[in-house]
A and B are shown apart, each in its own frame.
Chain A
Amino acid sequence: MIATTKKTTKLFLGPQHPGITGNMMVELDVQGDTVVRARTHVGYLHRGFEKLMEERLWIQCFPIVCRICVPEPDPNEENFARGVEEIAGIEIPERAKWIRTLVLELSRLQAYLLWMGGQAGSIGLYTMPQWTVGDRDYILDLFEELTGGRVYHMYIWPGGVRRDLPKGFRDRVLKVMDYLESRLPEYDRLLFENALFIKRASGVGVIDPSRAMEWGVVGPPLRAAGFRHDTRIDDPYEAYSEVEFVVPTRTESDVYARAMIRRFEFEQSISIVRQVLDNMPEGPVYTGIPNPFQWRVPPGDAYVRTESARGEFAYYVVSDGSTKPRRVHARGPAYVHGVTLLEHLLEGANIADVSMIMNSLGTCPPEIER
């Protein structure tokens, strides 16, 4: 008979590991295969962006904010721009709002493609990352044409957007949307309907729906727990009040439910992109701002929120009436998901499921550290 021991071993996962954009260490106390205690250690990336911005002119902050989150920089740009506009009382042109919506949805699509690859890679299905990261490049190509940058765009700025859509851009976007839609059945066969993934992901990393609010869960994990909450509908911004889409929910609240929520939202985003392209009004895309080198934003503060691919993304911007911000504070979904919630969910999990759970919460260390 095998003697059962209660020996606890320390296991350090990270700072580098697959499926995570950025460095973060998880310190695990394990008994056999089971995690009994988990502690996250961040700080490998801390770049002091918020402090840096207090020393920069308002316009100089705008190329900094997008660097806060690697997988999806656009919610940062949009949030910062909208925060400044709210304090300064700038009204942006209607067309700029629609273009921002388009950029945010394209950004969501590419973030989901990157996430699909990460989620599949975390359980060893390595075909999926090859395909989705390849397909993501078609969206990055569109971004490159529109903004000049593939990952960091610096396109949405206070007052509107930097330039109008290039000639023929609409057709190229639609072509990529058709292509991505045609790829979905393939992704289903590879991941979402894959018996291996269903078996591995069902019943794992369950967030108790009755305590979801107490733990501050947002985004797809919240919708997978049965709450129909989406910032795009609850607190509408840009042109989201004029497009139609469905907010999916599930009740299982496990890794598989979160994956299916994102799978469904992928289709919704494609539909939003098409609606935006069909309904976009003509007109200017930029409202002039004062001379940016002497621009004094009037005193005040603003809290603006966006629904990013991983949940509520928000910026708290404070101005004291000078040429530099008093405070810019970013709040990403990973700030909550990646620390307290992750530590809680990992207790009792199997070692092999750790990176899968981490990925299903959309943990993004750069956003925790800023």
Chain B
Amino acid sequence: MSDSVKTLSEEAIAEAIQKTFHTAEVRVARARRIEVKLRSDLLPPLASNLKHYLGFEHLSHISCVDWLEEGEFELVYLLWSYTHRVIVAIKIRIPRDNPQFVTIKPLWRHAETYEREIHEMYGVDFEGNENLTPFLLEDWDNVPPMRRDFDTRRYVEETYEWRPGREEHFVPRQVIAETWGERWWGDTVRGSNEEKADQT
């Protein structure tokens, strides 16, 4: 544990990162949030540095955003420090046509699950993670479904058949009126009195 690490402010952490990684764009987004934009090959050393020397011991999340127009995937690593109470969001970009990256499983074991999902949903290959097996999808051989160019509606229309009966334009109110007659529906709609129901 990092009890020996003194609590640092957001600015001090940002400065420490900038000092070691000159090319990184470091920005204090707000209290308890730091954003780092980095060249992708520098992520493993930065993550290791943050974990071992700056007290960022918790990997909160790894997310992936598809920037289709720019032809890139953005991987976002969110690290939390229990000591300094700050989140560092490390953002790296990898090319969309050759989505290759390295695993950070040696640093955090549960990164395996995050990478497994990103592999399945975006098709990003994490070198060194041997457990990139199918996770949520079953027998899937199409485009990874969370990519922006995967059209859910078209896929559904091509793969599944609409249930018969849907084209009939089923109107519940009309069917109820036809089944139960005026007595049930007509009266309630007009909010009329009970005597009328009794007469019919």
Contact = CB atoms under 8 A, between A and B. Distances in A.
B113 interface: yes
A321 to B, nearest CB: 12
B99 interface: no
B183 interface: no
Given A46-B136, A369-B136, A235 B109 contact: no
Interface in A320-350: 326-327, 329, 331, 335-336, 339-341, 344
A242 interface: no
Contacts of A316: 61, 63, 76, 78
A51 B152 contact: yes
Given A42-B135, A316-B76, A331-B61, A303 B87 contact: yes
Given A43-B137, A216-B59, A318-B65, A341 B110 contact: yes
Size category of the A interface is 35 or more
A214 B52 CA distance: 12
Contacts of B148: 54
Give the interface size bracket for B toward A.
35 or more
A159 to B, nearest CB: 19
B136 A340 contact: no
A340 to B, nearest CB: 5
Contacts of A50: 146
Interface in B1-24: 1
Q: Say whether chain A's binding surface is mostly helix, strand, loop, or mixed.
A: mixed
Given A48-B152, A214-B108, A336-B110, A43 B136 contact: yes
- The interface centre, meaning the residue of A218, A305, A340 with most chain B CB atoms within 10 A of its CB, is A340
Nearest to A216: B110
B85 interface: yes
A269 B48 CA distance: 37
Nearest to A338: B113
B63 A214 contact: no
Interface string B111-126: 0111000000000000
Contact of B135 (A43, A214, A305): A43
Interface string A26-57: 00000000000000001100101011101100
B109 A214 contact: yes
A120 B186 CA distance: 52
Contacts of A369: 136
Given A229-B82, A303-B78, A303-B89, A335 B113 contact: yes
